[in-house]
Amino acid sequence: MNASFQRNFTRESVRDVLRHGLNTVLFCCVIAIALGASGRGGWTAQFVYSLAIGLISWLIIDIGRLMLSTDPDRPWPAGARGILLVAVGTVGGFLGGNAIGDAWTGAPLLEFWSFAPHKFASTLIITALACVAVCYYYYNRGKSKYLEGAIALAQRDAADARLKLLETQLEPHMLFNTLANLRVLITTDPARAVAMLDRLNSYLRVTLSGSRALQHPLAAEFDRLADYLGLMSVRMGDRLHYTLDLPDALRDVPVPPLMLQPLVENSIRHGLEPQVEGGEIRVQARRNGAQLHIEVRDTGVGSNATAMPTEAGGFGVAQVRERLATVYGAEGTLTMTNPESGGVCVTITLPLASP
C-alpha cells in the first residue's frame, strides 16, 4: 500500500467509495432495464453484464484515484493521470464485465469480438459513455466539496485576522487611558503613580507573555479582568468597588479574549468616573440552558446621563459587538439596559456546547 493511498484512505473516503458503489449499482439497473426494453436480450442477462462492467470499472477508478491522488483534500489525480485512470477503468470494466457476463449466460468467452461492427461499437460506446458520465458527475461533486472547504477556510482565516485586528485596537485604547491617568498621578500623588506602574507592569507581563489565541477559558478572562480592575482601583481608590462572580462549572468555557475588559472600561469611563462618589461594578457569569450569560452591571450615572446612546455604546461596546458577530454570528448578542436601581447593565449571551 503506497503512501498516497494510506494518506487518502480515511473513514470519510471509505464512505464516499461505498456510496459511489451503491449509486453505480442503481445506475447499472437503469441501463439493464433500458437495454432489456430495447430487445437486446433478457433483463437478467443485461443486468449481469451491466452490473459486472459497472462494478469493475467502479473499483478500478475509485481505488485508483485514492492511490494516485497526492492531495487528500482533492482525491482525484490531476492532469493526464485522471484521464488515463478513466480509460483504464472503462477498458478493464468492459473486458472483465463481459467475461463475467459470458460465463453467467454460457456464451463463449468474450463473445463480443464476434459481434458485427455496429453491435460491437454500440456496446463499447455505452460502456464508455456510462463510465465518463458517472466519473464526471462525481468529479464535479468532489470539486464542489473541495471549493466549499477552501471558501470556508478562507472565511475562517479572514475572521481570525479580523479578531486579531480588533484586539490590537482594544489594547492600545486601554493603555492610552492608563498612561493619561499616570500623567496626572505623577504630579498629584507620586506614591499612587508608582503603585499604578507596578500594577501596569504586572498586567502587561501577563498579557504579552500569553499566547495570542483566538479563544481562552472564561477563567482567564476573569483573571485578566481582575488585573485590570486592580490597576484601576489604584487610580480611583475607594471610589471603585467591584465583584467578580464566576461559578466553577463555567471556568473552562472557551470565549474570545478581551471580551469583558472593554465593557468594564466603558462602565468606569462613562458610569463611575462622572460620579463624585464613584460606584460599584459587578461581573457575573451564569448558565441559562444552552446559553452562557455574562452581566457587567455598574451603579454609575446611567447611559441616558452621558453622550453614550444605549444601543450604540462606546468604543468598547462597539468592538465587543463586532467580535461576537464575527465569532458566533446571530447566536452571540450584546444588550444594554438601564435597571431601575440605576446604572447600566450589559448582558452578553453566547452559545454553550453540550456537556
Mark whether 17 and 101 lie in a shared domain: yes
Residues 334 and 227 in one domain: yes
**C-alpha cell at position 171:** 489594547
Same domain, 140 and 193: no
Count up the domains in the chain and report the number.
Answer: 2
Regarding whether 206 and 103 lie in a shared domain, the answer is: no
Burial 138-156 (b: 16+ CB within 10 A, else e): beeebeeeeeeeeeeeeee
Per-residue pLDDT of 62-78, as tens digits, reads 777 777 766 666 666 76
77 domain residue, yes or no: yes
49 in any annotated domain: yes
169-180 residues labelled b (16+ CB within 10 A) or e (exposed):
ebeebbeeebee
Is 172 a member of any domain?
no
- pLDDT at position 345, please? 93
Same domain, 52 and 142: yes
Q: Are residues 216 and 92 part of one domain?
A: no
- Identify whether residues 147 and 233 lie together within a single domain: no
Q: Is 161 among the domain residues?
A: no
Q: What is the pLDDT of residues 228-272, one digit of tens each?
A: 888 888 778 889 999 999 999 999 999 887 788 888 888 888 889
What is residue 5's predicted lDDT score, i.e. its pLDDT? 52
Return the pLDDT at 7: 60
CA dist 328 and 111 (Å) reads: 64
The pLDDT value given to residue 342: 85
On whether both 76 and 123 belong to a single domain, the answer is yes
The answer to whether 203 touches 196, Cβ cutoff 8 Å, is no
Q: What is the pLDDT of residue 67?
A: 77
Helices 190-209 and 218-236: crossing angle in degrees, nearest 10, is 170
The reply to whether 13 falls in a domain is: yes
Verify that 205 and 308 share a domain, yes or no. Answer: yes
Question: By the 8 A CB rule, do 337 and 298 touch?
Answer: no
Any domain includes 209: yes
Range of the domain at 74: 3-153
Please tell me the predicted confidence (pLDDT) of residue 309: 40
Residues 258 and 123 both lie in one domain: no
| pLDDT < 70 regions, the chain | 1-10, 36-42, 69-76, 78, 109-124, 127, 137, 139, 141-143, 146, 149-150, 152-153, 155-174, 205-214, 303-316, 353-355
Residue 327 shares a structural domain with residue 252: yes
Residue 59: what residue type?
A: L
Q: What local confidence, expressed as pLDDT, does residue 66 receive?
A: 75
289: its cell numbers: 440552558
Angle CA 295–300–303, to nearest 5: 80
Give the domain CATH number at 233. 3.30.565.10
